[in-house]
Amino acid sequence: MTHALDNTRISDRALEIAARVETFVRETVAPHEKDPRCGEHGPSEELVKELRGLARDSGVMTPHIPSDGDHLTHLETAAVLIRSGLSPLGPVAVNTNAPDEGNMFLLGQVASPEMKDRFLKPLVRGEMRSAFFMTEPAEENGAGSDPMMMRTTCRPDGNHWVIDGRKTYITGAEGAGLGIVMAKSEDGACMFLVDLPDPAIRTERVMDTIDSSMPGGHAEITIDNLRVPADRMLGESGEGFRYAQVRLAPARLTHCMRWLGACLRAHEIATDYANRRMAFGKPLIDHEGVGFMLAENQIDLRQAEQMIYWCAEVLDTGAQGTAESSMTKVAVSEALMRIADRCVQVMGGRGVTRDSIVEQVFREIRAFRIYDGPTEVHKWSLAKRIKRGWTKAQEGT
């Protein structure tokens, strides 16, 4: 890579896996980036299946979960997922993409043995995709950044639960085999595992969005009288928000990992262009305005990487890492936006075309600033934490 990653804190086993993933993504996946089966709503199911077949053949399917069923540490996972993100298609191909990666982590932590056999194992094998049904339409004042506003309801009916409501921005719902559905009972939030497709879960539309890397796109969903067996509830009634927290910080961090990989690749492309393109008698990189942008990119790339590693190490202690992951999400998403924007600027007219993936990375990173909580929500949450700490300190004096 143009920007050498810091490998001094990564185990040998993770570095070996990461190297194989990088080779596969660069040599096998990247040539598919201009495949016509990459559409506005993500790669087609046919292309996903093809890429995952190639990943199995290369021994890099779901590389962060080894065959013994163990899970790499968060720090080790960072080394692997950054490499998987070197192409927008990389996470899809090697099964480290959202929402599947976060859903696999959640099921690994919370699901019963029976649920793991039924749902987790096929996900790990890359045989099906999943969707996480939480966000609700803003026009109905439903759950978004504030999950406490959840309006989707669930009620017991014999040995089943009945779910009704609407969801939106549900990534990958089209084509998924598993849905993790959040709804509110009299006890509080609940999670259910649902086989998809189900006639009671209807896609109203797949929205046209700025990003285009995730299979199935982002859908608006109506859930009408969905009957779910009681034994498909994940954990206990009323504990859904607690389970969501198990998923939240790690999934937020793995977004940072994947998109750091994408920006590393965009920076490589922009650097190559700046060194080859001549203007006013010398290569672009020798013009201070261009060279300084690439230098600033390297600074932001290194800082983003170190924030990811720091947060991963916190999670590896067993801490929930809520504040740390919020700080990392803000710092990394904002840094990557600057990087992607500079790459487009360095490449000029070519940077806004689809002749390279730089244009797509720019679009994806813009959406990432909103995924898993906008920057402003995380800052607000951190400010509340600062106030609580100050208040507690005053009470102790």
pLDDT at 1 exceeding the cut of 90: no
For residue 214, give the nearest of 308, 131, 155, 146 by alpha carbon.
Answer: 131
Q: What percent of the chain has pLDDT over 70?
A: 98
| DSSP H helix total and E strand total for the chain | 12, 11
Distance CA 78, CA 328 (A): 13
Do 79 and 254 contact (CB within 8 A), yes or no?
no
- Spell out the domains of the chain, with CATH numbers in brackets: 12-124 (1.10.540.10), 130-236 (2.40.110.10), 241-395 (1.20.140.10)
φ and ψ at residue 269, rounded to 5 degrees: -65, -45
For residue 213, give the nearest of 344, 63, 93 by alpha carbon.
Answer: 93
For residue 258, give the nearest of 104, 58, 34, 64 by alpha carbon.
Answer: 64
pLDDT at 2 exceeding the cut of 60: no
Q: What pLDDT digit, counting tens, does each position of 119-177 carry?
A: 999 999 999 999 999 999 999 999 888 888 999 999 999 999 999 999 999 999 999 99
Q: What pLDDT digit, counting tens, does each position of 179-219 carry?
A: 999 999 999 999 999 999 999 999 999 999 999 999 999 99
Q: Is the model's pTM score more than 0.85? A: yes
Q: What's the token pair of residue 137?
A: 């339409």
